[in-house]
Each structure stands twice: as C-alpha cells, then as structure tokens.
Amino acid sequence: MARFRATALLAVLAGVAFAASAAADPIRIGMSVASTGPAASLGIPQRSTVGILPPQIAGQSVEYFVLDDGTDASRGVANIRKLIDEDKVDAVIGSSATPASAAMSTVAAEKGVPLIVLAASASLIVPMTPEKRWVFKAPQNDSLMADAIAADMAKRGVRTLAFIGFNDGYGDSWLAETERAAKAQGIRLVDVERYARSDTSVTGQVLKVMSAKPDAVLVGAAGTPAALPQKTLKERGYRGLYYQTHGAANADFLRVGGKDVEGTLLPVGPVVVAAQLPDGNPVKPVALDYIHRYEAANGAASATAFGAHAYDAFLMLQAAIPAALQAGRPGTAEFRAALRDALEGLHELVLTHGIANTSAQDHNGFDARARVMVTIRDGGWKLLP
Amino acid sequence: MDPTIIAILVQDGVVNGAIYALLALSLVLVFAVTRVIFIPQGEFVAYGALTYAALDAGQMPGSVWLLCGLGAAACAASLRAEWRRLSPRRLARLLAGTLALPAAVLLATRELAPLQPGVLVQALLALLIVTPMAPYLYRVAFRPLAQASVLVLLIAAVGVHLAMGGLGLVFFGPEGSRATGFSEDSLELGPLIVPGQSLWIVGLTVALMLGLYGFFEFTLYGKALRATAVNRLGARLVGIGTAQSGEIAFSLAGVIGALSGILIVPLTTVYYDTGFIIGLKGFTAAIIGGMASYPGAALAALGVGVLESFSSFWASAFKEVIVFTAIIPVLLWRSLRGGVVEDEE
C-alpha cells in the first residue's frame, strides 16, 4: 500500500513538473505550404495534416503556425521571415513546390532555423553546401524514383523511351533524372516533348512522340494534368507501355484518367498502397496509422501521399526534439542548433514513405525501401511484386 | 511530317481556334460597348466547365451560392444607385432579376442535380447558373465606374479576375475535372478521327456567330448595342440606355464564356484557373483583330489555334512563347500603318 502511495505521489509530482515545463516553453513549429495556387492539390492535404498532429512532443507542448504561400516563392520568403521573426518558431516545414522551398532555404540558413521541405527536387539538398546545412527534405529524391522506373523498363525489355513532361522545374528535374537513369540501363531516349499544366490540348506533342515509335512513354507531370498526354496517346492508338511519376499518384488522377490510365506503371511511396504491403514491412503500421487518423478527421479516402510528406516531416522533428531538449530550451539558438544536429543523425527512423538514415551529407535519408512499383487496376493502385 | 499529321494538327487547331474565336468575339463586344477589357472572361469558361462537370457527376456545384450572393449584391448596388428613380414596376423587375432568379436557379439545381438529368438539361442548367453572374458583376463592379478611364476599368477587371479565381478554388477545389460530352461518337474521314464533340464545338461556334450577326443587324437591342459602341454620347442623346447596353453586353459575354467551358470540358481537363490562359489566347486574337473587328478577331482566333497546334508539334517547350509573340509583329504593323488611335472619351 505504501509503495502504491509513493508511486502515486511520484506520478502526481511528475505530472505537475510535466505540466509546468510544458507551460513554460512550448515548442513552436511553423509551416508554410501552397494551399492555393498551382500546387494547391499538394498544399491542401499538407495543411490538413496539421489537424492530426499531437499537442505534445516529449512532454513539451507544441504550437503550430500555418501559413499559405500561394505557390509563390516571394510569399514563401515573407512567410518564413514572419514565422521566424514574429512567431519565434524553432523549426519550419514547407513549402510544397520546389521554387518556394529553394527561396525559403536561404532564409533558414541566414536565421539558423531548421527547415524541412516538402518539395521533391533533389537540388534542394544536393550537393550539400554550408547554406543547405539547415535544410532537410521529407519526400524521396526524384533520382530514387527515376531509377525504379528505369529498372522496371529494363525488366520489361524496353529499348526506346519518349518523355513528355511539364514545361517547368518539375519537368526539368524529371527529364534530367530520366536521361541519367535510362542511360544507365541502356535505354535510348528518342523524343522529348513538353507541355504546360494549363494546356487544353497536347495533340501536336503526342503525334511527335508517336512518330518516334518508342517502346514506352514516361509522363513527367504531377496531379490531374498528368492524365492529358496519356488520354491523348490512348485516343491516337499508342500501344506501348505507359509510365507516370509519383507526382501523379492521387485519387483525382484516377478520377480524371478513368479507364484510359488502366495498366499505367509508376513508382510511389509505400504509404500509397499501405494496406497491400506485406505484414512484416515496418512502414505498414506507421502509414496505416497516418491514413486512419487523417481520414477520421477529413473523411474517407481523403489521405494522400503529399499530406503524408508533411506527417513525415513532423515525425522527423518528433524524433529529433528529445535530443535537442538536452541542449537548450525551446526558443533558444542552442535548441535550434541541437535540433539541426539531431535531424542529421536519424537512424532507421520509420516514416510513412520509408525508412530514413540521415547523415551530414544526406539530408533526406531514404533508400530503396522508400519506393514501390505499382500499376493501376480497376481504378485503384495495385502493388507490383 | 506527313500530310496525315498536318491534317490532324489543322483539325486540332481549328477546334481550339473555334473556342478562342468565341472568346475573342465577346471580348471585342464588351470592350466596344463598355470600354472594359473583360479579363474575367476566362473565369466564366472555367466556371461554366466546372459547374457542368459537377452537375454531370450529380453534385451540387458551389457556384450556385456565388450566383445567389452576387444577385443580392447586384440588388443592393442597383437600389443604392437608383433608389430615387424607382417606380414600383421597376422595383419589381429589379427584385425578380436579382433575387427571384437566383433563388429559382438554386431550387432547380437542388432538385435536378442528384437526378443527373442528361447532358442537355445539365448544360442548360450550368448556363443558367453561370450566365447571370456577368450582368450582376457589371452592376456591382463596373457600372459605378462607367465614366472612369479605360485603365481604371482594366484594374477593376483584374480585381474581378483575381476574386473569381480565388472563389473558383474554394468552389471546385485544386484538381481538374472532365465531363460527359454531347456526343461520344466519332467520324472517320480517311486517316482523321473527328470526335463528335469537336463537331459540336465548331457547329455551335458558327451558329453563335450567325446568331450574333443577326442580333446586331436585325434587332432593336442589337442596334442599340452597336450605336453605344460607335458613339456613347450620341447613343444617349437619342435615348439609348447605355447602362442597359452594358448589361446586355456582359450577359452575352457570360453566355459565350460559360458555353465555351461546357464545350471543352469533355475534351480536356479543366481546372479552376484554366480559363485565364484560354481567355488570354482569345485576347491575343482580339488584339490582332484590333479590338474592333468581329470577323478579324474570329479569323485571328483560328490562326492562333492552328499556330498553337503546329508549334506544339515542332517546339513544344516554346509553344506559349510563339503564340503570344505573334502579337508583336501585328502591333508593329498596326501602329506603323494606322497611327495613334485616340481613346474616345
């Protein structure tokens, strides 16, 4: 009985100490994402993910500050300055697209605040320079995904490939990665076409692609606009293999693509097909947990791979914060520096998109476990063995 | 590049050009009558397309609520401007036009949307939802500025464009939609496959142009619009209500915009912000036509469509650059030949 009483007393004391410390120094996390503008389909689920984040990490209460940058680099910079100068945040998550993320990363380095970007381009953290020391990246590098595509093509005997992609940074990055990965597998890139996200017709590009007679076509585009070239190719009777990038992996792409995108091959983060992963896969419970909690708050079938990147950024912070708390109180420069150091030393951290091992040179930390090849069957994603 | 490819590219260019032609016509019309460069024209395309797509999917389109809100705002604006001169009859007409009409459309949408009553009814309903927004916008945003300079009107138009773009994101979400077309059949002409929908587009464009021609030549309202366009002061002196002319011009622009959207959404994915770039290409055609000539604008629009189609084949990365650069030689030629056109005030 006495022992029970002592335990209870300890628990109460611990609880009081806990509450006191939590009230004293909340950890402040800022977020600037593109919840309007061209990248809104990425930014909106990322913004909604904040709603399911816990109010406490390691016994410290956490405050979240969320801003919208409208997919605009200059607003992204204004946002991160506001978050750091006015809201005194300890870390920033964002933005959704590469241009705003790149612009924000210079401010993060200037102010000494860790930034976890949610954009895909590897150029944000590679090659590692003193300015990029403060920048970490939650989504997989394009190169990882491009390698998966090229390996799959080689397996299926593809010798010639045509690329049709966005006429912007996303398309540029994918074109560069595709050239490299295809060359490594001995696949010849026979035609490169570009189109804009807002184009209403790609007939010209598709005719050019078809006159090059490639074995496979890779569409380097994101979201529903990725369906347009494929629908036009189908309409014109192209019979080769269709590949898409992981940027196309959302439910709206399936809705708009309909039966014309059946059989498409693409690499995705495991969270997209979480329920189909084998039971031994460590990513499966984490990804399912995110999906269940997100969908409980936002409605059935609402979880996306893009929102999961924001959750991964949070998981990275959550893993790094206990070590940072040893070094200083939230809100201090010591805390932020220790947080940055801890983010660099993540070991086998299980995220919804894979397992991360970060280092001073690799601020993303993903390996081949962060991608799976899927196909589209009966209007859904089907995991390929 | 063989003849088949040329034929397919021309076909694609003509279909796109037909839409640009419709938009160019309504831009010229609105500018001639009200001196407003109607930038939100593109938003009407997107609203028409996405409202139709929502109805096609059996959902309640969010734009209905905007219609109701704009109707109420237009009612308030008109009451404020005219309360001294309102007779009971005019008041009744105002209330019917700005409050009863949106309410009726709202009820009809609520009844019909879940039933998915077929493409023609859906298209009509989408037209009814989107079209009245244009005259309401005129009353709220442009009529109070009717005497201002072209530049002030342009700034107001940009403001309306931004507001409608933002609201479009709220109503329709960031992702695009497609919808069922008027015709799923296609016609085979040798190597060409002509989808029925593109025949609808070209056919309706030609019909609308003929209709507009008849409207301007043979009806009193059409003649009043032309008179307002030629000389605003003179038109007022002979008793033509220029405000009413503005409203008719905006209504026509609304119909044309919404119809263009309904026509293209089966062929391509339309986003809340797709309309702007389509409207801009219509604007390019209108500029080439000198913002004054209807046949000039229509022909230029076909040219823009075909140029776009061929440049997407030859140099897809520079397609937009090529299309928009086409304005420069035309402007040079016009300014060298015609001298400075006085802004008529």
Cβ-defined contact of A208 to B177 (cutoff 8 Å): no
> Side-chain half-sphere of A193: how many Cα atoms within 13 Å?
28
Residue B342, pLDDT score: 52
Nearest alpha carbon to residue B61 among B118, B110, B121: B110
User: What value of ipTM does the predicted structure carry?
Assistant: 0.75
Cβ-defined contact of A205 to B175 (cutoff 8 Å): no
How far from the centroid of its chain's Cα atoms is residue A339's Cα?
A: 21
Nearest alpha carbon to residue B296 among B307, B310, B284, B308: B284
| Residue A271 pLDDT greater than 70, yes or no | yes
Residue B340, pLDDT score: 56
Chain B, window 144-203: residues with a beta carbon less than 8 angstroms from a chain A beta carbon = 166, 169, 173-178, 193
Residues A308-330 have a mean pLDDT of 94
Of residues B132 and A224, more confidence is placed in B132
Of residues A169 and A6, more confidence is placed in A169
Cβ-defined contact of A225 to B176 (cutoff 8 Å): yes
Can you list the residues of chain B whose pLDDT is less than 50?
344-345
A vs B: CB pairs below 8 A: 95
Residue A16, pLDDT score: 46
Pick among A170, A198, A236, A250 to test the B interface (most B CBs inside 10 A): A198
pLDDT bracket for residue A3 (50, 70, 90)? low
Name the residue among A207, A250, A255 with its Cβ closest to that of B313.
A207
Nearest alpha carbon to residue B205 among B314, B282, B290, B106: B282
Of residues A186 and B294, more confidence is placed in A186
Residue A20, pLDDT score: 45
Cβ-defined contact of A204 to B277 (cutoff 8 Å): no
| Residue A335 pLDDT greater than 90, yes or no | yes
DSSP B344: P
Cβ-defined contact of A200 to B175 (cutoff 8 Å): no
| CATH 3.40.50.2300 domain span(s) along chain A | 2-140+288-364, 142-268
Cβ-defined contact of B319 to A225 (cutoff 8 Å): no
Name the residue among B8, B12, B175 with its Cβ closest to that of A41.
B175
pLDDT in tens, A338-354: 999 999 999 999 999 99
Nearest alpha carbon to residue A317 among A65, A92, A19, A51: A92
Pick among B268, B322, B323 to test the A interface (most A CBs inside 10 A): B268
CB B249 within 8 A of CB B19: no
Three-class SS of residue A67? strand
Name the residue among B175, B177, B317 with its Cβ closest to that of A167.
B317
In chain A, % of residues over pLDDT 90: 71
Chain B, window 12-51: residues with a beta carbon less than 8 angstroms from a chain A beta carbon = 12, 15-16
CB B171 within 8 A of CB B271: no
Residue A1, pLDDT score: 45
Residue B344, pLDDT score: 47
Cβ-defined contact of B267 to A200 (cutoff 8 Å): yes
Can you say whether the dihedral through the CA atoms of A142, A361, A130, A109 is positive or negative? Answer: positive
| Chain B residues inside the 8 Å CB shell of A195 | 312, 316, 319
Name the residue among A203, A204, A224 with its Cβ closest to that of B269.
A224
As a dihedral over the C-alpha atoms of residue A236, residue A238, residue A243, residue A248, rounded to 10 degrees, the angle is 10
Cβ-defined contact of A195 to B269 (cutoff 8 Å): no
Pick the CATH number of A2-140+288-364 from 3.30.70.100, 3.50.50.60, 3.30.1360.70, 3.40.50.2300: 3.40.50.2300
| Chain B residues inside the 8 Å CB shell of A167 | 316-317, 319
User: Residue type for A314, please?
Assistant: F
Which residues face A380 on adjacent strands?
A377
Q: What is the Cα–Cα distance from B84 to B99, expressed in whole angstroms? A: 20
Q: In chain B, which residue's Cα lies nearest the Cα of A193? A: B316
> Side-chain half-sphere of A145: how many Cα atoms within 13 Å?
29
Q: In chain B, which residue's Cα lies nearest the Cα of A39? A: B174
Nearest alpha carbon to residue B142 among B2, B69, B44, B247: B247
Name the residue among A200, A204, A250 with its Cβ closest to that of B313.
A204
Residue A22, pLDDT score: 44
Q: In chain B, which residue's Cα lies nearest the Cα of A38? A: B174
pLDDT in tens, A230-265: 999 998 889 999 999 998 888 888 988 888 999 999
Cβ-defined contact of A256 to B264 (cutoff 8 Å): no
CB neighbours of residue B11 within 10 Å = 20
| Chain B residues inside the 8 Å CB shell of A235 | 193
Spell out the domain ranges in chain B.
3-179+191-338
Cβ-defined contact of A196 to B319 (cutoff 8 Å): yes
DSSP B270: B
| Residue A105 pLDDT greater than 90, yes or no | yes
Residues A276-282 have a mean pLDDT of 94
| Residue A185 pLDDT greater than 60, yes or no | yes
- Transcribe A228-266 into DSSP letters: HHHHHHHHTT--SEEEE-GGG-SHHHHHHHGGGGTT-EE
| Residue A2 pLDDT greater than 70, yes or no | no
Q: Which residue has the tokens 């929908």?
A: B197
CB A175 within 8 A of CB A157: no
A142-268: CATH number: 3.40.50.2300
Helix, strand, coil percent values for chain B (each to nearest 5): 80, 5, 20
Residue A17, pLDDT score: 46
List Cβ neighbours of A26 (8 Å cut-off, separation of 6 or more).
Answer: A60, A61, A62, A63, A330
| Chain B residues inside the 8 Å CB shell of A211 | 5
